[in-house]
Chain A
């Protein structure tokens, strides 16, 4: 416990010395390539009756906690469209140091049993249970039942050496934490795919993947195990002869286990983590930087001064309020504070830290219309990988204008298409979807509730597109100057007509509620309104996560049995029939394995968010009016530019920071644009979905870091930032700040302070020298009249001034005479 804390000041000094000696402090961007994804794909064939089955895993090396894509071909199509009677795959992660692979005791499987089998599969197929009533596996010796039970279960042997005979779940995993995929469907053409979350020792301590075992130097590898299920049960009978005509037994049962396909998984060393207990240096701001900041945190605390940084996700507005509050800390935003928000004595510094984008992430599985050609029918259930959206299509999705984005009973949209799939405009730009149908879905996108600058940018892109704006103003999509006669004549939901744009939130304006007064068995069922049918997600992560799980978040089923009776959350959509969209950011979308839509930019091109298109989008940005801050240009004509490119800024007011705060935040910025921009999968790197910042922006941030380090300190108290009185210490801004002598206790180590400056180029202030702020009248009160009074006084002076030479002598003379009179009269009394 002593070591890390005692070492901190020591290390700071140390680092400072090194900097002095080496003379160069600029962090070097590691050229560590993303070695994980390519080159480690593996394909393994089944055996026996599954000899034709070929299972591929797209990445099996350098794994962290992430999603890998498991695909297969040559399987027998699952015996039913919606249920799982037979012919499916069961996938799990196991540990096992034996080169031949794991034993069933070493597998994380059975956690999902808590939630039942979801209907449609045999009772014990997602359990560790080995007793199946009359059905018996001749190859399986039954272990003794757990305490208080008469049934046998496959025990779980953890990497820590425990053998837990506790049934389906144990202290290491349960329904909340397991990553097992109990049922994976094979489509009519014999193929299937699953996105599988691989877990490290952090998420699955019972498996210990990626940990370095005692006495060894390399990280522990683990296994992906696929148990293919055919049509026969463990006793050789057909699945049809069992209860409900479905397979019943557990994949861990010896006979089923024999069919397993194993794929070795090689892990990155689990990251080094921060020692808990030290005080955190707080940061807060937009969720758009969240994935990157959380990736950097565990490495930042091992770097330089070993400062631990906290990060609170708040709205951009909250962050801006914090920025100008006098205790700015460090904030993250997508737009700068406007001049009228910033007190005149504060000069915020903005520094770009990440480049990403807002996106529509989707999870759509192919569903052929009944009259579609055979190849389309055969592709049923396969995941679609492209989606082209115009601003007008996005406007339709976000304004409850499709019937399935509102309610099919709502009069306001009764004449509009059900959803994207029925909209000729969508099919025009997505010909692949022509023979597909999505009854009830793709009528809207899941959106997050909190206000956001990113939302503002999305609406601006829609607002500035003539076709979308025309649509929002009430023109049907087959009329007006941007209509296409072949379209459906869809009009905007009247509750959104003429909507004021841009704005920072996603309204849900149609007040339609479906009434249920007629139903005698549900006498008190309240009407079903938009926010139960299409609720908000709590944030971008919740939105993306819902899509990845096949959940619409909708609460559409009235459950009179709960207390109080309520609309219950819909179960996830059935595998093979998922069709969900969400507005989220590119990094979050990729984290959850979503495919991202291509959006139409002002040049008419459909552009997916890639490093190249995000960089082109950044290039096309225009100045925001606040120095050093750029904003996206929704009408930029560059062909390859992604229209919803988001450049996220860190910001602070250096003069309001203590010297130590200034140094810590400068270090954070230098890391962010140094090693933090190297793409990768391990901690400290830049996650997928962010494009590495171009050199010019990194330089801007380097200069900002210098400015923060040099301008902070003099007027703010060292370390004790608690309860600094509001607005104190203003006015002493500027670079040097030698005017205030800091108290001795807070003097920074002399060796550290000069060296920081010596090691960096002369500070280049990048303060936003924006127009001086106009303080709102309500803040000022009576002070606002000062100008008026001054002007009146000035006028009087101006008018009197030229007269004064003439009037003054006369006046003086007059006064003298008056005085003379006065004194004369009063003298006798004096």
Chain B
């Protein structure tokens, strides 16, 4: 069989024999060994594409690696909408998008191009919720939320971090959640990530989503949209690109922000935690490669277009499922049109085969999930439709895809571990960190235990200002940055002035720590006396030290005392 590997069991023997023979030959004929034939690399013309930033971290690695095969693949990540537009206009050879053409968005249908094309899945992943939240100046890393609360946050219904709904999802943080305003950070450009997220909200929480859209002046039902609706004065922040939203949330001063972005950006680019999202089985899960693989087992794939219908994923009852799992796809030409040629087709075909197979091997290291076998097979069908592709080489047998198994089951999903019980909805909550920050979050002590110090987390240079615990006298020195006098709130909690991340205005603490929110001036976050990390450990360590000391010193002392006694007696 051409190109097939020799069966593994034969290999060593073959190797041994040839090696022996060759050694003999070498000994006999000296240096006259056959010279390794230079690999005849194919020539590939460069190709160019544009589109999604959701999948760009993976795509960039593939592009870099195929350089060694003499392939030049260009890509501009300006958002899915731009990718679809450019492909439609014929200015690029391929586009990358999370949603297909033809979706009605704000009443306008995103029309399909006149050139012939096909969709091909390229990589799976989870749309994650990356956040920046601190309690007592320590970053929270184990936040978990139900889908409804997430929707309420991104539709402006839940407005502060100490909202009872958030507390209900987070029993171990409940007492310590700050009265800080939630600042949702959304994409300001036409984005496939927005489309993914809004499709989920439209399907699972249509009432909330439509009510929000109405407020934003959109027609309802709002459905899937690439352009996040904005309600003026709502305090939402718009940023361009996945880099933009993740970069905004990652600023030390932007405590209270939350955004939706592909997992990769939280885990790897910025090292931030992500929300564990409640699935239908009652478990809060993270979009790890395996949880996404489990979820996508329930994706309905239109066999003709390969577009995704994700309701089954959203409602999957497997306890491991991450509900916002989805995949991204490439829009490839299936005819020689608009500057696309057979030579380019050869490159695109070889590149596609590479990333559907070899390229999937290590996407989990980048925050994605390898495509399951059914999608790879379907994708390879599409690759064969690209004009100019070397059909012979598009061969499932040599495809080094990590999810393949002999039984045809997705090995990744099969081996996915079940969540621990502390991830189950209920009274307990895992302390382990998430996403790019694995530092555990442990809240010890309750309200009023006093003594923790906090800098307010706004990084505005108040130096040694420390805020006393609730009821404490607190060594407040006021704010040095804003020219105000700090202000001590009714509860005895004081805080340094912080800067509203949205408006850039210095917000002073007016003493109303109740968290009432009414548009303009929001109350200063109130730090309760709870702190993360704890006294138990310290006590245990001291105890251990004392015991160790006793253990070392006691026996000789005791012996000598006893001996002395014995001698005296």
Question: Contact between B70 and A1 (Cβ–Cβ < 8 Å)?
Answer: no
Residues of B with C-beta under 8 A to A211:
43
B109 at the interface (CB under 8 A from A): no
Q: A509-B252, A723-B411, A745-B8 are in contact. Are A799 and B558 (CB under 8 A)?
A: yes
Question: Contact between B48 and A176 (Cβ–Cβ < 8 Å)?
Answer: yes
The 0/1 profile, CB within 8 Å of B marked 1, for residues 273-284 of chain A is 111110110101
Question: Contact between A495 and B39 (Cβ–Cβ < 8 Å)?
Answer: no
A505 at the interface (CB under 8 A from B): yes
**B436 vs chain A, min Cβ distance (A):** 7
Residues of B with C-beta under 8 A to A275:
39-41, 69
- Classify chain B's interface size: 35 or more
Whole-angstrom CA separation of A454 from B267 in the bound complex? 19
Q: Closest chain A residue to B66 by CB distance?
A: A276
The stretch among B149-157, B310-318, B457-465, B468-476 that forms the contact with chain A is B457-465
Which residues, 489 to 526 on B, are CB-close (under 8 Å) to A?
499-504
Question: Contact between A498 and B559 (Cβ–Cβ < 8 Å)?
Answer: no
**A576 vs chain B, min Cβ distance (A):** 26
Whole-angstrom CA separation of A751 from B21 in the bound complex? 11
B68 at the interface (CB under 8 A from A): yes
Residues of A with C-beta under 8 A to B60:
313, 538
Question: Contact between A511 and B499 (Cβ–Cβ < 8 Å)?
Answer: yes
Q: A277-B398, A564-B188 are in contact. Are A5 and B39 (CB under 8 A)?
A: no
Q: Closest chain A residue to B404 by CB distance?
A: A722
Q: Closest chain A residue to B547 by CB distance?
A: A791
The 0/1 profile, CB within 8 Å of A marked 1, for residues 18-60 of chain B is 1110110011000001001111111111101000000010001
Q: A314-B365, A505-B250 are in contact. Are A563 and B436 (CB under 8 A)?
A: no
A508 at the interface (CB under 8 A from B): yes
Question: Contact between A564 and B540 (Cβ–Cβ < 8 Å)?
Answer: no
Q: A277-B393, A507-B252 are in contact. Are A495 and B461 (CB under 8 A)?
A: yes
Question: Contact between B253 and A282 (Cβ–Cβ < 8 Å)?
Answer: no
Question: Contact between B68 and A301 (Cβ–Cβ < 8 Å)?
Answer: yes
Residues of B with C-beta under 8 A to A531:
239, 244, 247-248
Question: Contact between A801 and B555 (Cβ–Cβ < 8 Å)?
Answer: yes
Q: Closest chain B residue to A492 by CB distance?
A: B461
B3 at the interface (CB under 8 A from A): yes
The 0/1 profile, CB within 8 Å of B marked 1, for residues 16-54 of chain A is 111011000000000000000000000000000000000
Q: A495-B460, A497-B461, A791-B551 are in contact. Are A273 and B39 (CB under 8 A)?
A: yes
Which residues, 678 to 723 on A, are CB-close (under 8 Å) to B?
719, 722-723
Q: Closest chain A residue to B16 by CB distance?
A: A749
Whole-angstrom CA separation of A499 from B43 in the bound complex? 52
> Residue B339 contacts which of A170, A202, A274 (CB distance < 8 angstroms)?
A170
Residues of A with C-beta under 8 A to B37:
3, 7
Residues of B with C-beta under 8 A to A225:
none
Question: Contact between A722 and B365 (Cβ–Cβ < 8 Å)?
Answer: no
Which residues, 400 to 431 on A, are CB-close (under 8 Å) to B?
410
Whole-angstrom CA separation of A449 from B365 in the bound complex? 18
Q: Closest chain A residue to B438 by CB distance?
A: A321
A469 at the interface (CB under 8 A from B): no
Question: Contact between A7 and B36 (Cβ–Cβ < 8 Å)?
Answer: yes
Between B15, B189, B270, B340, the greatest number of chain A beta carbons within 10 A of the residue's beta carbon is seen for: B15
Residues of A with C-beta under 8 A to B393:
1, 276-277
The stretch among A93-101, A304-312, A582-590 that forms the contact with chain B is A304-312
> Residue A294 contacts which of B64, B343, B548 (CB distance < 8 angstroms)?
B64
B181 at the interface (CB under 8 A from A): no
B305 at the interface (CB under 8 A from A): no
Q: How many residues of A contact B (CB 8 A)?
A: 125
Question: Contact between A449 and B243 (Cβ–Cβ < 8 Å)?
Answer: yes
Question: Contact between A495 and B358 (Cβ–Cβ < 8 Å)?
Answer: no
A435 at the interface (CB under 8 A from B): no
Q: A171-B344, A201-B43 are in contact. Are A535 and B243 (CB under 8 A)?
A: yes
B91 at the interface (CB under 8 A from A): yes
B568 at the interface (CB under 8 A from A): no
**B394 vs chain A, min Cβ distance (A):** 11
Whole-angstrom CA separation of A324 from B133 in the bound complex? 28
**A827 vs chain B, min Cβ distance (A):** 40
Residues of B with C-beta under 8 A to A524:
232
> Residue B3 contacts which of A2, A748, A750 (CB distance < 8 angstroms)?
A2
**A122 vs chain B, min Cβ distance (A):** 23
Q: A272-B39, A801-B555 are in contact. Are A114 and B269 (CB under 8 A)?
A: no
Which residues, 775 to 830 on A, are CB-close (under 8 Å) to B?
776-778, 785, 787-788, 791-792, 794-795, 798-799, 801-803
Whole-angstrom CA separation of A77 from B551 in the bound complex? 90
Whole-angstrom CA separation of A654 from B408 in the bound complex? 33
Residues of B with C-beta under 8 A to A527:
503-504
Residues of B with C-beta under 8 A to A202:
43-44, 46, 70, 72
A190 at the interface (CB under 8 A from B): no
**B410 vs chain A, min Cβ distance (A):** 12
B428 at the interface (CB under 8 A from A): no
B354 at the interface (CB under 8 A from A): yes
B5 at the interface (CB under 8 A from A): yes
Whole-angstrom CA separation of A538 from B400 in the bound complex? 29
B211 at the interface (CB under 8 A from A): no
Whole-angstrom CA separation of A87 from B40 in the bound complex? 47
Question: Contact between A532 and B41 (Cβ–Cβ < 8 Å)?
Answer: no
Whole-angstrom CA separation of A18 from B26 in the bound complex? 8
Question: Contact between A301 and B39 (Cβ–Cβ < 8 Å)?
Answer: yes
The 0/1 profile, CB within 8 Å of A marked 1, for residues 235-272 of chain B is 00111110110111011111000000000000111110
> Residue A512 contacts which of B40, B504, B543 (CB distance < 8 angstroms)?
B504
Which residues, 289 to 333 on A, are CB-close (under 8 Å) to B?
290, 294, 297-298, 301-302, 306, 308, 310-315, 317-318, 322
Question: Contact between A16 and B67 (Cβ–Cβ < 8 Å)?
Answer: no
Q: Closest chain B residue to A293 by CB distance?
A: B64
Question: Contact between A798 and B499 (Cβ–Cβ < 8 Å)?
Answer: no
Q: A273-B68, A778-B431 are in contact. Are A498 and B461 (CB under 8 A)?
A: yes
Whole-angstrom CA separation of A788 from B392 in the bound complex? 66
Question: Contact between B252 and A450 (Cβ–Cβ < 8 Å)?
Answer: no
Question: Contact between A315 and B269 (Cβ–Cβ < 8 Å)?
Answer: yes
B449 at the interface (CB under 8 A from A): no
Residues of B with C-beta under 8 A to A3:
37
**B372 vs chain A, min Cβ distance (A):** 15
Whole-angstrom CA separation of A719 from B559 in the bound complex? 61
A566 at the interface (CB under 8 A from B): yes
Whole-angstrom CA separation of A567 from B66 in the bound complex? 34
Whole-angstrom CA separation of A499 from B461 in the bound complex? 8
Q: A11-B36, A18-B26, A777-B537 are in contact. Are A313 and B61 (CB under 8 A)?
A: yes
Whole-angstrom CA separation of A11 from B548 in the bound complex? 61
B366 at the interface (CB under 8 A from A): yes
Q: Closest chain B residue to A310 by CB distance?
A: B65
> Residue A749 contacts which of B2, B19, B459 (CB distance < 8 angstroms)?
B19
Between B64, B341, B402, B500, the greatest number of chain A beta carbons within 10 A of the residue's beta carbon is seen for: B64
Question: Contact between A567 and B544 (Cβ–Cβ < 8 Å)?
Answer: no
Question: Contact between A5 and B3 (Cβ–Cβ < 8 Å)?
Answer: yes
Whole-angstrom CA separation of A497 from B442 in the bound complex? 30
The 0/1 profile, CB within 8 Å of B marked 1, for residues 740-767 of chain A is 0000111111111000000000000000
B481 at the interface (CB under 8 A from A): yes
Question: Contact between B41 and A273 (Cβ–Cβ < 8 Å)?
Answer: yes
For this complex, 25 residue pairs linking A to B, each with C-beta atoms less than 8 Å apart, are A1-B392, A13-B18, A17-B22, A17-B26, A21-B27, A171-B45, A177-B72, A211-B43, A271-B70, A273-B69, A277-B398, A313-B60, A451-B270, A504-B271, A507-B251, A527-B504, A563-B190, A566-B189, A723-B415, A749-B12, A749-B19, A752-B19, A791-B547, A794-B551, A802-B559
Q: Write the residues of chain B forming the contact surface with A, with a CB cutoff of 8 angstroms.
A: 2-3, 5-6, 8-9, 11-12, 14-16, 18-20, 22-23, 26-27, 33, 36-46, 48, 56, 60-61, 64-70, 72, 74, 77, 81, 91-92, 188-190, 227, 230, 232, 237-241, 243-244, 246-248, 250-254, 267-271, 339-341, 343-344, 350, 354, 358, 361-362, 365-366, 392-393, 398, 400, 402, 411, 415, 431-432, 436, 440, 442, 459-461, 463, 481, 499-504, 537, 540, 543-544, 547-548, 550-551, 554-555, 558-559, 562
